[in-house]
Amino acid sequence: MSRPVQVAPSLLAADFVALADSVREVEEAGADLLHLDVMDGQFVPNISFGPVVVEAVKRVARLPLDVHLMIDDPIRYVDAFADAGAEFLTVHVEACPDVAATLEAIRSRRVRPGITLRPRTPFADVEPFLAAVDLVLVMTVEPGFGGQAYLPDQEPKLSRARELRSDSGLDYHIEVDGGIGAETGPRAVGAGADILVTGSALFGSRDISGLIRGFHALGGAAAR
Ligand code: DX5
Ligand code: ZN
């Protein structure tokens, strides 16, 4: 069954001096979620921002916040990001000493849990947790930096996520993150994605609303 395609701009590619303007711009252009990339300099080599910035975005945002935690042992920060206003809180399977407990901690705060994995991690590693999540995020770049090239060899994970969803009757979103733009978005949707994270391609575009409209139309096309 095909679903509407949703678009989640990654604020990592926005202008941090004028974050509120970027939020307003993508909201007016028709985005569905705001994707926030939290990096700790340990799980990934880069450092981005933490709960303080998420909370600041929450104050100006109308859209739900989709928070992607690229941090070691993320259970330590579930309360902080729940308090900051996350709607989705996605953790890396490789980063959690106890994945099930981490997802339960997120759910217990009435935040929607997501699970994700690095490109080199097999999809089988997340399969035991699919019943416990509202979102599965397939990384199509190595986590840590925006602006990298899309890895098409990750598409089988999108297809597997979709296959398992229809076989099992589970109802998680399938999100794709990394190198998504006008050319790669259709490929990812064809493989199984229904939420497109897009950073540098979106914020670098001269026609943000046109790009988002094009992504939304993929859902309609796929549904026919
Ligand atoms: C990478 C982040 C992505 C990144 C996407 O670690 O998870 O969300 O910002 O940026 P683009 O769309 O530029 O690949
Ligand atoms: Zn991300």
At residue 2, the pLDDT reads: 72
For residue 12 and ligand 1, the question of a CB distance below 6 A is answered with yes
**Ligand 1 pocket: which of 12, 71, 138 to mutate (most atoms <8 Å of CB)?**
12
**Ligand 1 pocket: which of 117, 118, 148 to mutate (most atoms <8 Å of CB)?**
148
Residues 6+ apart with CB under 8 A from 221: none
Question: Angle at CA 30, nearest 5°, toward 29 and 32?
Answer: 135
Question: Which homologous superfamily is 6-216 in?
Answer: Aldolase class I (3.20.20.70)
Ligand 2 ion local residues (Cβ < 5 A)? 37, 68, 177
For residue 140 and ligand 1, the question of a CB distance below 6 A is answered with no
**Which ligand has the minimum distance to the alpha carbon of residue 144?**
1
At residue 221, the pLDDT reads: 53
Q: Going residue by residue through the chain (224 aa), what tens digit of pLDDT does each one get?
A: 578 999 999 999 999 999 999 999 999 999 999 999 999 999 999 999 999 999 999 999 999 999 999 999 999 999 999 999 999 999 999 999 999 999 999 999 999 999 999 999 999 999 999 999 999 999 999 999 999 999 999 999 999 999 999 999 999 999 999 999 999 999 999 999 999 999 999 999 999 999 999 999 999 754 44
At residue 223, the pLDDT reads: 44
**Which ligand has the minimum distance to the alpha carbon of residue 140?**
1
Q: Is pTM beyond 0.95 here? A: yes
At residue 224, the pLDDT reads: 40
Q: How far is the CA of 168 from the centre of ligand 2 (A)?
A: 26
Contact 117, 154 (CB under 8 A): no
For residue 9 and ligand 1, the question of a CB distance below 6 A is answered with no
For residue 114 and ligand 1, the question of a CB distance below 6 A is answered with no
Q: Which residues are catalytic?
A: 37, 177
